[in-house]
Structure 1
């Protein structure tokens, strides 16, 4: 304000003329920040601490494997590899053998041909030796017929003899020979009648006098009319 103006009032403060660019005050912090960034970039980074790559002779000796131990390890490794190969071959052989046995067990059935080699078992089941069995089969051939094609004529006669001797149920025989219950019933019905007719000449009933003659005293006293005993 002009000092000659009637509104002029003296002041104790020193008057400063305002800047022609007030936005310069706003740009001042930005300029200072840029100067600080330039100073930070120009300063070199401190070098990394030196790495002590020196190694003593004792540490090097401890890190190395002795030659003898190394050779022993190589030999043992070779032996283990050979043993591993041998075990793999043995495992393959056992696996093949197991598969063959499973297949054999799956295909194996209870038949006359499988039991016939065991004479003791065959006599126990049928009551006949293999020679008499073959003779009886030859006598019946031509008079009997197959009830099922799953079983041979030997199996048909084998079933009849087991049924007569052991008294086994038809269901169990059907299970053992892998057929149905009706098949076992059909074999029994057709074969028993033919066997009774063909083997009738072999059955000799003694007379009453012969029975009484050879009867024991206790039977004579209590069972005078006894002609036979079925077991």
Structure 2
């Protein structure tokens, strides 16, 4: 429901019986309507108006002389002028007749000049703007042709006079429509303005100046009805509209082309990102993370928070989580550096540099996870299967040999002594020794015998030649006998953790020669990562509860 915003006017759309009453919005704040909008606001004279109120305000047709708003700048109804508080100085009908009388007067002058052959280019342009629909004589059209020819600087030879015919009757020529004159005047005006301005300022500056002038000219828009009927058309307004629309169209084309280019770049980058392996696309897949690294997602995030600020990134385009993913995949899956480079879209040399930088740091940060536990901690975490025959057992000792490739192409073996607790954690790891070093000497150099403070038991999968050294510190060594079945659960239990450690892919074949100098760091990192896995104790407890339930059921 719309109401008139003029003070003292009570017209609104639903309470009036006058079906001819119309309501007009205040012109919008656009470059072509800005001047007209200000004229309307000055005529209405309302104070304390916000932009929202102005945009929603309406003015009824009762405040226009003809009862309808006009888009003609010379019309009195271009701006509302009939207000209750304003006294009219003249009769409204006279105001409406003034523009028509002015046009007739100017048209009469142009006709007089045309009969005396004194018409000029400026007169044609003035006639085009003042009386576009007037009937003109042939002399005006001839003068326009002469003007256009002067602008184009083309001299045509004189044509021989033609005999008078009915087609060239002056009376018929005077009845020609204004369409031909408008078109010729338009061409002459454009050529003359272009030539004159080009002579003064040059071609490039002339085009820029004309463009600025066209942008600043504010011409009222012709109504849609006039464009359809072909009457009262303001060609200057149409020209301005075409120029503005063409500029907007050109700008939109440029923006669309830029968007297409950006879209293509994003598509190519997205395809390249999906074609290479990255933690960005794996972090939501916990199963895949466990398969590639051997760690659950929670352990991966914790490890990343510990190491990302303690080591540099070798490849600046890859984040810290991608560096850690490469290192863990190298250790867990045992892939060669070229294979990892193909998966991550980089060279094998960069993969080697990443591993050589991150693995030593990883070993230092995770070395506290391999710690010899006290007797109380071992006893509290010991599964029930150890509390009968092996209640004094504190660890399970084993010796593992790994093959390492040398730069000369040969292969050497390095042995490591490792012990695990009954609960399933690696508690001791000695540095690597050559095969020539005896077991007694290796364990003595590693400080293994100094860890025992009280009488204890040690389980081993084979017999070690260290019984005399263990007897001195009151420690007994137990090995499984042939056909031993009563305590098979104990041996299978302690072998699980060592199986996790031995199953790292990097140990399945000879360790590359580029990792020979950091072999101890590789073994330490794999042992510490083994302790980050789920403990064996919960699984043992579950199995014991299931057995008890079965016995109770029987």
Richer in helix (by share): 1
TM-score, normalised by the number of residues in structure 2: 0.21
Higher relative contact order (Cα pairs below 8 Å, separated by 6+ residues)? 1
Question: Which structure has the larger Rg?
Answer: 1
TM-score, normalised by the number of residues in structure 1: 0.48
Richer in strand (by share): 2
